[in-house]
Chain A
């Protein structure tokens, strides 16, 4: 299984998957935007401002999921010392940083009409800002440290320490009294979101996941080419 996931075995498929995502992406994007901006109903309290949810929530989920993956792969990298995991982490990090930043910005734009403020230093918002710092430090660690072994160690250490913040983000709305509402969707529990809003939310999640996958594959392909270029240079 691990052998199958080696860059030399999967490189061939990367181009094909990128082409496939490119071919279906715009259709799903248009369907997602039609549902999010036109077909879904306004909220009975928040009115049309609730439409911000369709970009804010998936962005936050992808931002958190990306760092969770980075932390998991960093732990696995410490154990198995596989360079491929480091390349995967380098390819995921910019996507996570983008979506976490978008979650904060769109959250601020949603906060003004609903809470009456752009920003509050409450636990959820502050822990999301800390996540952005962890992403920035993670990216800087492999950009600034030239020795690859050291860069792997430093970035993995940052990712593992940063995973503590993920738990704080998840439970911040339960542990502290925050301006941010508790989660409306819980795994295994029934959702408090009506299906007319759930459908656009899931379509927009799919759109942003496809976009994330596209960027990941392109970045991963770039990392593999960089590695091969170094090998050619040595000859």
Chain B
């Protein structure tokens, strides 16, 4: 039964290869996208840390997104 399932009446190599290619390429794009997102979050925080205290305050007052990036990162830490 398992051999029948794997061989799929002779079409196994085509079917498994199709599903395998789809799953692997989707996984690769997911990991790459996640890595890039983390990289830019870290770079944003590093950039923010270089600002003077007054500039930091100004950014936090003006930008809700900056607040959220910093909040998300502090939770992740």
Residues of A whose CB lies within 8 Å of any CB of B are 7-8, 11-12, 15, 33, 36-38, 42, 47-49, 51-52, 55-56, 59, 94-95, 98, 101-102, 105-106, 109-110, 112-113, 211, 214-215, 218-219, 221-222, 224-226, 228-229, 231-233, 235
Our pick among A47, A102, A229 for the contact of B44 (Cβ within 8 Å) is A229
Q: Bound complex: CA of A214 vs CA of B17, how far in Å?
A: 24
Grouping DSSP codes into helix (H, G, I), strand (E, B) and loop, the B interface class, with mixed when no group exceeds half, is helix
Interface size on B, residues (CB 8 A): 38
Grouping DSSP codes into helix (H, G, I), strand (E, B) and loop, the A interface class, with mixed when no group exceeds half, is helix
Chain B residues with CB under 8 A of A235: 51, 55, 58-59
Q: Which of A112, A219, A235 has the largest number of chain B CB atoms within 10 A?
A: A235
By beta carbon, the residue of chain B nearest A218 is: B33
Residues of B whose CB lies within 8 Å of any CB of A are 5, 8-12, 14-15, 17-19, 21-22, 25-26, 29-30, 33-34, 36-37, 40-41, 43-44, 47-48, 51, 55, 58-59, 63-66, 68-69, 72
Chain B residues with CB under 8 A of A231: 63
By beta carbon, the residue of chain B nearest A223 is: B40
Cβ B26 vs Cβ A211 within 8 A: yes
Q: Bound complex: CA of A91 vs CA of B18, how far in Å?
A: 25
